[in-house]
Amino acid sequence: MSADHGALAAGRDAHHNAVGDGSKVIDQSGATNPVIVEPGGTYIMHAPPLELWERETAAKEVWVPQSRAALLSPLRRTVQLMGRDEDLAQLLHWCESRDNLHPSDVRFRLITGPGGVGKSRLAEELKHALASLPAEEEAGWVSTTVFHGDDQEKHRVGKQRALYPDRPLLFVVDYAEARPGLKELLEDAYRTTGTVRVLLLARTAGRWWQELENLPGDLGYLLRAGYDEADLTDPAVTPQDLFDVALQDFATALGINPPSSDVRIEGAGTGLRALDVTARALVAVLRTDFPNTAAGDAGRMPIGDVFDELLRHEDMYWKDAARRTGIDGEMGPEPRRMTVAAAALLGTRDKTQAFDVALRVRTALTDRTERALPPDEAVARWLRVLYPPKPGEEMWAMPLQPDRLAEHLIATVLTPRNTAHGEQNQAALLEGLAASAAPHAATVLARAITDPARPDRAATVQPLLDRLLRALPDDWELMGAVHNVLPGPDPRLAESAILLTERALAHAQEHQRSSADIAAAHEAHACCCGAADRPEEAIAHHQQALELYSDLLEQGQYVYTDEYASTLNNLAVTLSDLGRHDEAMVLAQQSVELREELHERVPEDRLLPQRASAFHNLGLCLLELGRPEEALPHCQRAAELYREMYKREPGRHTSNYVRALANLGTTLSGLERFQEALDAFQQMLDLSRGLFEEDPAKHTTLHAHVLYNVGATYGELKRYEEALELMRRALELREELHGQNDPDERYLHGCAEAQYNYGLSLIMQGKRQKAFEQTQQAVQLYRRLHERDADEYADPYADALINLASCHMDLEAAEEALACYRKAVDLKQAVYERDPDHHTVPYAMFLNTLANHLAEFGHHEDALDLLQRVVKVHERGPVKDQYDYGDALTTLMFFLAMLGRREEATAVGVKLKQLVD
């Protein structure tokens, strides 16, 4: 590999030297196959000499952009790739190896991750690495990037195979989540003979990917095997090192000296995305040409300010291009910005779309400019001059790159400070979109909303997407296409998705579409409501979908059995989350039975994940109902199915198998079969440790959870030292996660949970002072969480307070202990009063246990108050809890008698006799 990397470095240097004068080089240093490197991108050519000459001739006819922002494009490879050696090696192995279980030599791979993490840059390096591999003459890899908007993308694989019948083919499909023809492209790849690799790049694996995974037969299997359900991590390099290298590379590309001062980047020890770092470096280099700006400030600028500064440089490029095309007098600053933003938002796949962009900008700027805007033809030509298509690509013009810079420009154009201008801009660019533009625009806005670098996304970009969705034509297919490009389930987009699924459902009902379409619309809306934490609405629509699917099955349309089973399972999960475990269990049982019947009729492996999920959820429901004996066979079956999937596709199903083992171990613990539970947990720990060591960034949360489960089981087996060590390690991991992710504190809950469990382990071992310190920290963390969300965290906050009270008692601090107990009771009572039907039994058990504990410490009046509360709780409870009510009366009667309060004890005895009679 080292020799190949050296060849790549040589090619990069040649590329740097070529950027300044707009020339191209054919770099054959260390590579068997020629690599054409151009200022606007890198094109790997493996064609015979005649075809190579024709391609070069065509390329000369296209002007390559010289803008400053283009230096950030991954196709330019301006900054050397750092911290991706392992990722690149894995991709090379994926290209060169094959799945021996299947005769066809086709493989798929999906890489997801937020914008700017380096997906496209890694793919570009892979293309060059393949070109550098030794190969026989005219037998090397043919690498192609399929750009968004290519009308011929559906048939691209077959066309390339016709041109190169004996060559291995690599296709890089960027923006995979926004391609209407992606399914056809993948099917084309699957049918093609010879070695074919398809590398898909997307920000998220949402509904679009779930639909692809469910394709029947081997194609679905190969797609599922190509995604490990985890995002690409940040490069294994410090931001400061990447920043320093980027300074040198950008300066070399521009032919200027890098900043002379020691420029530091803020947050150099944290996981900044690669684009955040390189964009700041580019600004720092560009500032060296301006004496009144400080290069060092670029390392500390918010990324939004960095993008604003880059756009100012880009505008100079736009203005120069307008001058060269003869329209500079008509294209002022606002038309330039809006036209580039509109092209990035709506797409310019063909000339007609470019005309539409020009028309919409003219509409927005009506009465706002004294100059007459140039004709549509001139604006379309200007866009093509700015960002020409790559040689051989069948589209009119490329959008502004990089994507996040374009998204930033779009947001600023559509939400200017002048609200009246903003209204005009939004009306012109978001309403009445054609079928080709609407999914593209929705994709761009969804990316901007889910970009964590935009803290204002809820106030700025979210309303833009909602306006677009409200303005969509009343077209079933179009609404479905837009829905498919929205990442889901994603809480950040849930309300917008609800808006769209409401419209789709209304359309389906009003236009009397088929029962299957209406059922699917109900189910889609239910899932969106669930993601938006609106469970009651979700339940109502799940039930509507169930009724419709049930009718279809009664009519003999068994093709909808899978959808019916999925809806049952989804409804069961929603009910379970609300604590309605009895109802959830019945539905989960039905889902399992349907899945097994379907498996007998159609024994396809593609349904294995759904079967495993159904068994897993049924086991969980039974566990929640306190029925571990009944849960056990379902948990065992889920673990068996996940183990089968893990053996076939370990990269994809390891984490699922770990969770199934966790569920099985918990069930066995509930049956006090602790040694068997430990066996399951030990398998889980081995798998989790492997995942964690392979990629700590992806699997720290899971590994910490696993450590806790194993530690708790060691505690049950009285192996306290081993338990304590695992709990301590779990706490360290949680604290590490929490510390790395401030200030958003997504990991605060996990850290609080780990503190609680570690403190509990110390209490069990009698290590009083240390237990007190850890438990006190857990209480402080849960207090913060409770202040943020009282409903969610009242229960765990109360439990932490109970542990702290116990520590106070051990340290003979009775008053402090009582204060904790009383606060805990108030919290538990609040939980009970919100939903008495589902919290009567646990609340009564809590009060009873606490009363006994207080009595042991001699606090009889407090204990008596709690026992009286227990009786009142059961008096309000349903009939099925009368046995518990009798137990509560018995306990209260004996306690009153023990305190010498015979008359009160007698009165309670009368109640007890009436209940028994």
Q: Answer yes or no: are the C-beta atoms of 185 and 179 closer than 8 Å.
A: yes
CA 479 to chain centre: 23
- Mean pLDDT for 169-173 is 91
pLDDT mean across residues, the chain: 79
Non-local (6+) Cβ contacts of 328 within 8 A are 319, 322
pLDDT at 359: 93
pLDDT at 123: 92
Residues linked to residue 171 through DSSP beta bridges, in sequence order: 144, 198
d(CA 812, CA 858): 12
User: What is the DSSP track for 578-626?
Assistant: TT-HHHHHHHHHHHHHHHHHHHHHS--GGGHHHHHHHHHHHHHHHHHTT
The position carrying tokens 């246990």 is 849
d(CA 535, CA 533): 6
Q: Where residue 18 falls among pLDDT bands split at 50, 70, 90?
A: very low
Q: Is the pLDDT of residue 60 over 80?
A: no
H or E stretch covering 508: helix 494-510
pLDDT at 651: 63
Q: Answer yes or no: are the C-beta atoms of 771 and 728 closer than 8 Å.
A: no
Q: Answer yes or no: are the C-beta atoms of 770 and 762 closer than 8 Å.
A: yes
Q: Is the pLDDT of residue 200 over 90?
A: yes
* Residue 883: how many other CB atoms lie within 10 Å: 10
pLDDT at 356: 93
Phi/psi at 180 (5° precision): -60, -30
Q: Is the pLDDT of residue 883 over 80?
A: no
Q: Is the pLDDT of residue 504 over 90?
A: yes
d(CA 804, CA 797): 11
Q: Is the pLDDT of residue 27 over 60?
A: no
Q: Is the pLDDT of residue 13 over 50?
A: no
Q: Where residue 484 falls among pLDDT bands split at 50, 70, 90?
A: confident
pLDDT at 877: 61
Contacts 24+ apart (CB under 8 A), 495-500: 495/462, 495/466, 495/532, 496/446, 496/449, 496/462, 496/465, 496/466, 496/469, 497/528, 497/531, 497/532, 498/525, 498/528, 498/529, 498/532, 498/534, 499/466, 499/469, 499/470, 500/469, 500/472
Pick from 94, 77, 90, 84: nearest CA to 168: 94
Number of H helices, E strands in the chain: 38, 7
Which pLDDT tens digit goes with each residue over 284-294?
888 887 655 55
pLDDT at 747: 53
Non-local (6+) Cβ contacts of 891 within 8 A are 848, 867, 870
Q: Is the pLDDT of residue 432 over 70?
A: yes
Locate CATH 3.40.50.300 in the chain. Answer: 2-224
Q: Would you give the DSSP letter of residue 389?
A: P
703/720: higher pLDDT: 703
- Mean pLDDT for 382-410 is 84
- Alpha carbon dihedral 883, 884, 888, 891, in 10-degree steps, equals 70
Pick from 708, 685, 817, 696: nearest CA to 756: 708
Which pLDDT tens digit goes with each residue over 729-765?
777 776 666 555 443 444 566 667 766 777 777 777 6
3-state secondary structure 264-277: CCCCCCCCCCHHHH
- Of 63-67, 742-746, 878-882, which one has max mean pLDDT? 63-67
Which pLDDT tens digit goes with each residue over 319-337?
998 998 889 888 889 999 9
Pick from 86, 87, 75: nearest CA to 121: 75
- Alpha carbon dihedral 188, 190, 195, 196, in 10-degree steps, equals 60
pLDDT at 154: 67
Share of the chain above pLDDT 90, in %: 21
- The yes/no answer on whether domain 840-917 falls in CATH 1.25.40 is yes
505/879: higher pLDDT: 505
Locate CATH 1.25.40 in the chain. Answer: 840-917
- Decide: helix, strand or coil at residue 808: helix
- Starting at the edge strand found earlier in the chain, the sheet holding 25-27 runs 25-27, 35-38, 41-44
- Mean pLDDT for 500-524 is 94
Q: Is the pLDDT of residue 830 over 90?
A: no
Q: Where residue 458 falls among pLDDT bands split at 50, 70, 90?
A: low
* Residue 286: how many other CB atoms lie within 10 Å: 22
Q: Is the pLDDT of residue 12 over 80?
A: no
Q: Would you give the DSSP letter of residue 201?
A: E
pLDDT at 23: 28
Q: Where residue 33 falls among pLDDT bands split at 50, 70, 90?
A: very low
* Residue 828: how many other CB atoms lie within 10 Å: 23
- Decide: helix, strand or coil at residue 312: helix
Q: Is the pLDDT of residue 259 over 90?
A: no
Q: How far is CA 507 from CA 431, 472, 488, in A?
A: 19, 12, 21
883/476: higher pLDDT: 476
CA 451 to chain centre: 11
- Mean pLDDT for 105-127 is 89
The position carrying tokens 């060691």 is 714
Rg (CA), the chain: 32
Alpha helix ranges (H) inside 456-493: 461-470, 476-485
Cis-peptide, bond into residue 743, ω within 30° of zero: yes
292/202: higher pLDDT: 202
- Starting at the edge strand found earlier in the chain, the sheet holding 196-202 runs 106-112, 196-202, 169-173, 142-146
Choose the weakest-confidence range: 44-48, 157-161, 695-699, 816-820: 44-48
696/697: higher pLDDT: 696
Share of the chain above pLDDT 70, in %: 81
Q: Is the pLDDT of residue 859 over 90?
A: no
- Decide: helix, strand or coil at residue 37: strand
- Mean pLDDT for 83-89 is 90
pLDDT at 36: 35
d(CA 46, CA 65): 25
User: What is the DSSP track for 128-155?
Assistant: HHHHTS---TT-S-EEEEE-TT-TTGGG
Intra-chain end-to-end CA distance of the chain, in Å:
85
Fold of the 2-224 domain: Rossmann fold (3.40.50)
pLDDT at 706: 79
Non-local (6+) Cβ contacts of 686 within 8 A are none
* Residue 19: how many other CB atoms lie within 10 Å: 22
Residue 270 region by backbone torsions, left for phi larger than 0, else alpha for psi between -120 and 50, else beta: beta
- Mean pLDDT for 198-207 is 85
Which pLDDT tens digit goes with each residue over 486-501?
876 677 788 899 999 9
- Of 195-199, 560-564, 670-674, which one has max mean pLDDT? 195-199
Choose the weakest-confidence range: 167-176, 325-334, 828-837: 828-837
